[in-house]
Structure 1
Amino acid sequence: MMKNPVLICDFDGTITENDNIIAIMKKFAPPEWVPLKDGVLSQEISIKEGVGSMFALLPSSQKQEITDFILRDAKIREGFADFVAYTKEAGIPLYIVSGGMDFFVKPILKDLIPEEHIYCNIADFTGSQIHIDWPHECDDQCTNECGCCKPSIVRRIAPGHEIIVIGDSVTDLEAARLADLVIARDLLLGKSEELGLNYKPFQTFYDVIGHVKEVVE
């Protein structure tokens, strides 16, 4: 049983049913975004380079249109609000660590997660094209050019804790390698199996609650 766990939860494709960056690109970006996305998913291009280049394809003048679209389009995965309530009741710290952007991550999580428990990237709309700022870059133990470096954040905020990582994609993989338990779906599920990580599958956050209860109660 875990005595001192911390929950590290991804956002895009995990808390939300779809990947919001992909949704934005499908709706607004020219075709050049596709090879950038494929390069990130195959790990041939760093997350920082790929995501930064994808957003640079979009004019800042579309800020309101993009924001309105994604706040309307994003759907929270079933059970998330109950999961948040469970973590509070159980006294388990929950951090959202996301490669997503502040202009949609924070509004969607408002009233659910305190802002100081949200780590994400920042979209700068002051230039002609959208520029991404990376306030949570890799520490000296990571050379992957993650952008929002999930393992670096884990090392910083959870020393001495048992780590539970919840995620869905290759962008969660390096944090998952540090975890005592990975709760995974989609690409991260396959990678966790391939690497022999301690993992459980999930579809809804009711599944997540069940897996967490198994190791903490």
Structure 2
Amino acid sequence: MTKNPLIICDFDGTITMNDNIVSIMKEFAPPEWTALKDGVLSKEVTIEEGVGQMFGLLPSSMKEEITRFVLQDAKIRDGFREFVSFVNQHELPFYVVSGGMDFFVYPLLDEIVDRDRIYCNHASFENDHIHIKWPHSCDSLCTNGCGCCKPSVIRQLSEKAEFVIMIGDSVTDVEAAKLSDICFARDYLLNECVQLGLQHLPYQNFYEVKSGIENIGEVKAWIQNNSAGVNLPK
């Protein structure tokens, strides 16, 4: 029996060309953010702790300035809009699962991805400094302090019969890549996939992702069945 595909896509550094959190910190944060970033990359500090403390360095009064900066600075990776048109055309189950913050993830994806297909963190500007809330934190099977826990979201969305396709680039995607049947990877994640022996394909743009996904047997079967009018669960 062919498994149904489930496509999970990272945001920062994957859909966008750069990591927006790193860009924000470079522009606005005091030097202390660098040690926190290094701690996250070395896995000595959890993502939830490190990213939460990074944003805690920034005054809430800078909300408008930070938002304006990131919306102007971020660039969508080539082919992403066409890729979303492809998954929408074939009604493929597709979700953006991001360690980024709602105040920039939502507006950058407006008119491209429906918000009910986006999982991300929430930034609160109610106190003196920015406070991050984690609506999609780790479930009982994960103790990694992921912040937005991609493995937990995958478990929430998937069933045992589904074929998980992960698209990512960074340390925040490693645990999700371990749960995937195939991972489209670049940068840090690509090196991790090689070292861990995970099934993967490299990419630099979403034209390559689309081409690779079209050739996956489970996706071919989904498209064929969908074209024939078979009612497949999503």
Q: Could you say which TM-score interval applies, normalised by the shorter chain? A: over 0.9
* Number of residue pairs aligned between Structure 1 and Structure 2: 217
Indicate the SS of the match to 2:215: helix
Aligned equivalent of 2:171? 170
The whole-number CA distance in structure 2 between the counterparts of 1:100 and 1:52 is 11
The whole-number CA distance in structure 1 between the counterparts of 2:91 and 2:107 is 24
Letter in 2 for 1:17: M
1:93 offset after TM fit, Å?
A: 1.1
Aligned equivalent of 1:15? 15
Alignment of 1:89-168 (within 5 A): 89-159=89-159, 160-168=161-169
C-alpha deviations, 1:156-185, integer Å up to 9, x for none?
A: 011231100000001101110000010000
Structure 1 residues 66, 149: closer, same or farther in 2, change over 3 A?
same
1:34 equivalenced with 2:1 (yes/no): no
Runs of 4+ in 1 over 4 A off after TM superposition: none
Aligned equivalent of 2:82? 82
* RMSD (Å) for aligned C-alpha atoms: 1.0
The whole-number CA distance in structure 2 between the counterparts of 1:54 and 1:180 is 33
The whole-number CA distance in structure 1 between the counterparts of 2:2 and 2:26 is 41
Aligned equivalent of 2:5? 5
Indicate the SS of the match to 2:62: helix
1:3 offset after TM fit, Å?
A: 4.0
1:2 offset after TM fit, Å?
A: 5.8
TM-score, with structure 1 as normaliser:
0.98
The whole-number CA distance in structure 2 between the counterparts of 1:21 and 1:128 is 19
Aligned equivalent of 1:185? 186
1:8 offset after TM fit, Å?
A: 0.2
The whole-number CA distance in structure 2 between the counterparts of 1:158 and 1:114 is 19
1:126 offset after TM fit, Å?
A: 0.5
Structure 1: 5+ residue runs without aligned partners?
A: none
Indicate the SS of the match to 1:8: strand
Deviates further, 164-173 or 83-92: 83-92
Aligned equivalent of 2:67? 67
Structure 1 residues 35, 181: closer, same or farther in 2, change over 3 A?
same
The whole-number CA distance in structure 2 between the counterparts of 1:201 and 1:29 is 32
TM-score, with structure 2 as normaliser:
0.91
C-alpha deviations, 1:58-115, integer Å up to 9, x for none?
A: 0000000000000000000000000000111222111000000000000000111111
The whole-number CA distance in structure 1 between the counterparts of 2:55 and 2:104 is 14
The whole-number CA distance in structure 2 between the counterparts of 1:173 and 1:92 is 23
The whole-number CA distance in structure 2 between the counterparts of 1:63 and 1:71 is 12
The whole-number CA distance in structure 2 between the counterparts of 1:145 and 1:92 is 30
Indicate the SS of the match to 1:103: helix
User: Identical aligned pairs, as a percentage?
Assistant: 58
The whole-number CA distance in structure 1 between the counterparts of 2:214 and 2:12 is 24
The whole-number CA distance in structure 2 between the counterparts of 1:92 and 1:168 is 22
Indicate the SS of the match to 1:182: strand
Is the radius of gyration larger for structure 1 or structure 2?
Answer: 2
The whole-number CA distance in structure 2 between the counterparts of 1:2 and 1:112 is 29
